[in-house]
């Protein structure tokens, strides 16, 4: 069984994966190698079938017999019709769902059949088992994960408010309602649906944009269909997954470390300097050499003079939610909520303060030139904006441990010209040998952070056990104002 540290790592990893847009793998998030290695393990089975990956969530092992001794703990035992017992228990903000299997493991292949979808909802890609509304693409909706149950399989949900015992189409289910203590929650319900005959548990994430009626209708019409190995939905084997997690946990360091960016680092550049970038092409392994330069940095109080079609819809939506944009397109002050972060088990996030913050639009005029003798592959332009602090003659990530700011600043590109369509927003196309392209970038930035912003450009790889901010595949540009 997993210890508490293993479980915590799995919780964090699965949370990130559940939030990933798996149909836009060209837009990777900057996670550690620990995360990427575990994600790779999860995805390998899908790739063998030529499918896209789906989401996964929290896993935790518990000692059922000992847990039942807790006094005052809400506990429910579902007496299964066949060979399964399902135990549900809640302690503080953690809900554990444990399934005991008294029969032999069923290894038959099945395909997930979602018999009903709400209007305007679609699957992100075939086989991904992730569904979203067309007008809220890859944000919320439903994310499904199939687990082939072992002899004893345990699942945990943190930041839980309460749980409900349900039956969907005659099948036992648990619906967990989640609450992090703030409004920054994409999936506010988690559903565990037991397919007893198949020996499979369906774990589902349900977005805040899904109504209770829609949740019920979808779950009532979910089924598993016998199929061939080739056409089967990817299913994680609980025992194998648990064994891999325990093995990796034993090999990993207790904590990942960061080597700060030295102020005289060769990987740190200024506005106007040419940044020599090397990118390896994924298909051929050929190295492309690019010259990248930020020619100008400008700060605006309004976005009136900028084309709306070049803005990332997510960024504009955030402005609207925070009422930080008026009818003339002028940026307005907003309240930045600051939280003491809970651990999700014994505590949830607690609001500390909500200062009023002025918002600015930082606009970068940049150019990239292909100095290679061959054309590049398609380039995805998503340099991340990072807030750094000065310490010991170096730059390190800003922020205080245990404190989180619910800010309009996402670090993602809020404005991009030129850009691709839809899910390929960051795709600026390929560059021919010798070709130079002007690229205009924009970011919404809190005014009090203008003096500490840096651009983390052309960073596509993970970190390993230690993140070295001075590594040769990192290029930092000082754009402080």
CA-CA distance, 100 to 285, in Å (whole number)? 48
Query: 344 and 458 share a domain?
Result: yes
CA-CA distance, 55 to 112, in Å (whole number)? 14
Query: 286 and 147 share a domain?
Result: no
Question: By C-alpha distance, which of 256, 181, 201, 162 is closest to 84?
Answer: 201
Query: 125 and 61 share a domain?
Result: yes
Question: By C-alpha distance, which of 56, 32, 18, 80 is closest to 238?
Answer: 56
* Count of domains for the chain: 2
Q: How far is CA 156 from the centre of its chain?
A: 18
pLDDT at 253: 62
Buried b / exposed e over 334-360, threshold 16 CB at 10 Å, is: bebbbbebbbbbeebbeeeeeeebebb
Query: 185 and 268 share a domain?
Result: no
The per-residue DSSP string of 283-329 comes to TT-PEEEEEEEEEEEEEESB-TTS-GGGB-HHHHHHHHHTT-B-TT-
pTM over 0.75: no
Query: 286 and 416 share a domain?
Result: yes
Query: 397 and 427 share a domain?
Result: yes
Cβ atoms of 79 and 85 within 8 Å: the answer is yes
Digits of tens for pLDDT over the chain (481 positions)? 444 444 444 444 444 444 443 333 333 322 233 333 333 433 433 333 333 333 322 233 322 222 332 323 444 555 444 578 899 999 999 999 999 988 888 899 999 999 999 999 999 888 889 999 988 877 899 999 999 999 999 999 999 999 999 999 999 999 999 999 987 788 999 999 999 999 999 999 999 999 999 999 999 999 999 999 999 999 999 999 999 988 877 776 667 789 999 999 999 999 999 999 998 887 778 889 999 999 999 999 999 999 999 999 889 989 998 999 999 999 999 999 999 999 999 999 999 999 999 999 999 999 999 999 999 999 999 999 999 999 999 999 998 889 999 999 988 899 999 999 887 899 999 999 999 999 999 999 999 999 999 999 998 877 777 899 999 999 999 999 9
Enumerate residues 6+ apart whose C-beta is below 8 A from 79. Answer: 85
Cβ atoms of 390 and 460 within 8 Å: the answer is no
Host domain of residue 19: 4-251
Query: 326 and 219 share a domain?
Result: no
End-of-domain residue from the set 184, 216, 251: 251
End-of-domain residue from the set 232, 251, 270: 251
Question: By C-alpha distance, which of 57, 183, 193 is closest to 114?
Answer: 193
Query: 355 and 380 share a domain?
Result: yes
pLDDT at 79: 45
Cβ atoms of 203 and 155 within 8 Å: the answer is yes
pLDDT at 4: 43
CA-CA distance, 65 to 286, in Å (whole number)? 57
Q: Give me the phi and psi of 458, to 5 degrees please.
A: 50, 40
Query: 119 and 240 share a domain?
Result: yes
211, two tokens: 């109504």
Q: What is the CATH number of the domain that holds 322?
A: 2.60.40.1240
138, two tokens: 């890859």
Cβ atoms of 312 and 341 within 8 Å: the answer is no
pLDDT at 252: 66
Query: 239 and 271 share a domain?
Result: no
Is the Cα torsion angle 168, 173, 179, 183 positive or negative in sign?
Answer: negative
Query: 391 and 303 share a domain?
Result: yes
End-of-domain residue from the set 220, 251, 282: 251
Query: 261 and 246 share a domain?
Result: no
Beta bridge partners of 202: 146, 193
pLDDT at 310: 96
CA-CA distance, 15 to 13, in Å (whole number)? 5
């Amino acid at each position: 069984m997993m210890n508490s540290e293993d479980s915590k790592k799995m919780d964090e990893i699965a949370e990130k994966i559940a939030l990933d847009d798996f149909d836009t793998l060209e837009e990777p998030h900057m996670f550690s190698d620990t995360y990427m290695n575990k994600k790779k393990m999860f995805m390998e089975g899908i790739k063998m079938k030529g499918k896209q990956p789906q989401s996964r969530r929290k896993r935790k092992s518990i000692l059922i017999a000992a847990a039942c001794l807790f006094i005052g703990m809400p506990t429910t035992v579902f007496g299964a019709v066949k060979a399964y017992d399902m135990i549900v228990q809640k302690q503080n903000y953690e809900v554990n769902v444990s399934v005991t299997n008294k029969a032999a493991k069923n290894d038959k292949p099945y395909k997930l059949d979602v018999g009903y979808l709400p209007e305007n909802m679609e699957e992100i890609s075939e086989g991904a088992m992730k569904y979203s509304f067309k007008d809220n693409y890859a944000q919320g909706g439903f994310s499904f994960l199939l687990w082939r149950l072992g002899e004893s399989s345990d699942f945990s949900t943190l930041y839980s408010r309460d749980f409900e015992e349900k039956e969907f189409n005659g099948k036992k289910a648990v619906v967990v309602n989640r609450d992090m203590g703030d409004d920054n929650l994409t999936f506010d319900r988690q559903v565990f649906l037991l397919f007893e005959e198949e020996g499979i548990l369906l774990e589902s994430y349900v977005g805040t944009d899904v109504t209770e009626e829609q949740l019920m209708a979808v779950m009532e019409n979910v089924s598993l269909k016998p199929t061939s190995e080739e056409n089967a939905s990817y299913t994680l084997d609980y025992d194998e997954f648990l064994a891999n997690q325990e093995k990796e946990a034993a090999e990993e360091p207790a904590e990942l470390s960061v080597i700060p960016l030295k102020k005289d680092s060769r990987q740190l550049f200024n506005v106007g300097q040419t940044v020599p970038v090397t990118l390896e092409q994924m298909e051929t392994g050929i190295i492309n050499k690019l010259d990248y330069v930020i020619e100008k940095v400008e700060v605006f109080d309004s976005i009136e003079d900028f084309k709306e079609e070049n803005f990332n819809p997510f960024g504009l939506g955030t402005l609207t939610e925070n009422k930080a944009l008026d009818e003339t397109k002028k940026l307005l002050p907003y309240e930045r909520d600051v939280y003491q972060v809970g651990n999700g088990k014994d505590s949830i996030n607690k609001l500390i303060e909500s200062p009023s913050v002025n918002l600015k639009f930082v606009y970068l005029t940049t150019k990239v030139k292909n100095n290679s003798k061959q054309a590049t592959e398609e380039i995805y332009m998503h340099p991340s904006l990072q807030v750094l602090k000065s310490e010991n003659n170096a730059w390190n990530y800003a922020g205080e441990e245990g404190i989180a700011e619910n800010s309009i600043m996402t670090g993602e590109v809020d404005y991009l010209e030129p850009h691709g369509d839809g899910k390929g927003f960051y795709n600026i196309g390929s560059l021919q040998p010798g070709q130079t392209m002007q690229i205009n970038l924009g970011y919404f930035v809190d005014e009090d952070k203008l003096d500490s912003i840096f651009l983390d450009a052309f960073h596509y790889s993970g970190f390993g056990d230690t993140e070295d901010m001075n590594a040769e595949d990192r290029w930092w540009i000082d754009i402080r104002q």
